[in-house]
Amino acid sequence: MASLAVKAFDDILWKQCIQPNLGILLFALCVSCILFLRRWPKRTLPPGPPPLPLLGNIHQTPSKDMWKTYKQWHDKYGPIISMQYGQKTVVSIGSFKVCKDLLDKRSTSYSSRPQLIVANYMNRGLHSGFLLYGERLKAHQALHAVILNPRVVKSYGYVQDIESRQLLHDILQSRGHGFQDIIHRYTYSAVFTLAYGKRFASVDDETILKVDEMAEAVAENLQKPSFLIVEAFPFLDRLPRLLAPWRRMGDHHYEETSQLFESLLQLGRSTSSWNWSKELSKSNDERDALSDTELAFVLGTLVEGNSTADKILEFFIMACVLHQPEFHHAQREIDTVVGTDRLPDCSDAPDLPYVNAFIQEVVRWRPITPLGIPHALVKDDEYRGYHIPKGATIMANNWAMELDDELFPDASEFRPERWLQTPNLPTAAFGFGKRSCPGQHLGRRSLFIVVSRLLWGFNIQHACDENGQKFEIDSSKVTQSSLTGPLPFEASFIVRSPRHQDIIENQFSNSEKNPDAIMDHVHSLVKSASGRL
């Protein structure tokens, strides 16, 4: 059986990756022979699977669930391992201790990003997430801090309150059918209201569809075999444009993305109320730092990042369905603290320790960035007797860290109580060092208000077919990308009582729907909180 699996994998590797790109690959190997003799590392790298000359470990890395293979290598070789992909050295970190030592304590050296050739053509160096560590990144981060510092983020709770009321109402009306789209609308509408003063009544809005198409194009193109070859052998980028399809694709994607982001920035500036577009434009004018196009990318990429909470919320729904005792424990805590006469809100968070633990366990149990967001080393470094070369890609392997049985006993099990028994457990969810997620404070509040309100209002359980048979859920299968989510699954949402239903309906009907009125109120809260905006 094992030999058949290996043969099947080899067939796929040949037909999908090697055969269509054989000419380019042979050329790459010939040139690499010379570079191999000149550049192959002579000092001791961290341990790892034995590489082949020239190819390195390309042949050992599967196209699916790569993070699981990396964890197996960590289990065998230790908390810091290295791989070679063509000309590129990749170092994977599978320990919170090593991450703290390198990405936090030596953050100045470890806070850059690998220069992905295809990504650079797609965003032309304007995407905050791909910037090298330096003055331009600091300019982007200074703008992030204006609108995402912890003081002002509390003021955005009004938007999250309104959007989560609609989420509850939509779940009530649909009985949870298509809950993924309902969650998707919530995350986009909340962040677009803040960024551009634009709300979404449904997930079918043309703007959401465009942003989704753009995100899918990025994920698809960064994983195309012919494009992965140029990342492993960067000298191929010197080929004529006719032989470099990644350039044509990148130019096309950049034009579409810049048009979308610039049109959204102008939309935000044209509204009558305050929003992030106006505030960042004012702050940028004071600094005279960025062009309008780059400012549009700063805001657009922030919006992209803050709308990924829908993947975590889908994993939350999955956890509720699969772990009913823990789900009911969280409900009982909410019933005791909140009661049935009102919706929970963020002010209840300190009094709901088990609910907070439930959220932390969801994030740990199924990390949405299992291999983290890669860092790059700006100068040679030594650690525990190992040499880590300048330019190496550094991956904080969230999957290996969050499923470490020594730190999290029975790590594959869903156990919220572990966060109450050991309150200072580490988390990798929002990154490390100077490249940690700028929207983490907003994201945490968004997760809490939706999770607490769904727990308050609904019994969430297995959905069944017309014969009463449960739709099974395999929690181990996820989408294959740098940002993962559950494969589509069904869940049943049953409102807990007529009283709960009345409150959900009344809260929605009495909510402000006009985005300008919403943002005028937010602005008053922000001014009170910051004394500036």
pLDDT tens digits, one per residue of 349-386: 999 999 999 999 999 999 999 999 999 999 999 999 99
SS3 of residue 175 by DSSP: coil
DSSP state letter for 126: -
Q: Is residue 26 part of a domain?
A: no
Q: Is residue 84 part of a domain?
A: yes
Q: Is 51 left (phi over 0), alpha (psi -120 to 50) or beta?
A: beta
pLDDT exceeding 70 applies to what percent of the chain? 91
* Torsion over CA: 384, 388, 394, 395 (sign): negative
Question: Whole-number mean pLDDT of the chain?
Answer: 89
Structure tokens at 22: 């054989």
Structure tokens at 124: 């032309």
Least confident range of 12-26, 78-92, 287-301: 12-26
- Give residue 267's domain range: 44-531
Beta bridge partners of 387: 382
437 is in an annotated binding site: yes
Residues composing the chain: 533
Angle at alpha carbon of residue 235, lines to 230 and 241, rounded to 5°: 70
pLDDT tens digits, one per residue of 437-461: 999 999 999 999 999 999 999 999 9
pLDDT of residue 30: 54
Q: Is residue 403 part of a domain?
A: yes
Examine the pLDDT at 9 and tell me if it is beyond 50: no
Hey, how many other C-beta atoms are within 10 angstroms of the C-beta on 108? Answer: 12
Q: Is residue 18 part of a domain?
A: no
Structural domains counted in the chain: 1
Reduced 3-state DSSP string for 202-225? CCCCHHHHHHHHHHHHHHHHHCCH
Q: Is residue 21 part of a domain?
A: no
Around 320, how many Cα atoms within 13 Å sit in the side-chain half-sphere? 28
Structure tokens at 423: 């309150």
The pLDDT-based confidence of 31 (bands split at 50, 70, 90) is low
Does pTM top 0.85 for this prediction?
yes
**Euclidean distance between the first and the last CA atom of the chain, given in angstroms as a whole number:** 65
Q: Do 425 and 363 form a contact (C-beta atoms < 8 A)?
A: no
Nearest to 196 by CA among 269, 140, 146: 269
pLDDT of residue 395: 95
φ/ψ (deg, to 5) at 370: -65, -25
Distance CA 249, CA 304 (A): 21
Structure tokens at 199: 């709300």
Q: What is the dihedral of CA 128, 131, 136, 142, to 10 degrees?
A: 40
Q: Is residue 265 part of a domain?
A: yes
Distance CA 19, CA 21 (A): 5
Least confident range of 214-228, 307-321, 354-368: 214-228
pLDDT tens digits, one per residue of 470-497: 999 999 999 888 789 999 999 999 999 9
Structure tokens at 323: 């772990």
Examine the pLDDT at 61 and tell me if it is beyond 70: yes
Hey, how many other C-beta atoms are within 10 angstroms of the C-beta on 129? Answer: 17
Q: Is residue 13 part of a domain?
A: no
Around 202, how many Cα atoms within 13 Å sit in the side-chain half-sphere? 4
Q: Is residue 7 part of a domain?
A: no
Q: Do 296 and 467 form a contact (C-beta atoms < 8 A)?
A: no
Q: Domain holding 416: CATH number?
A: 1.10.630.10
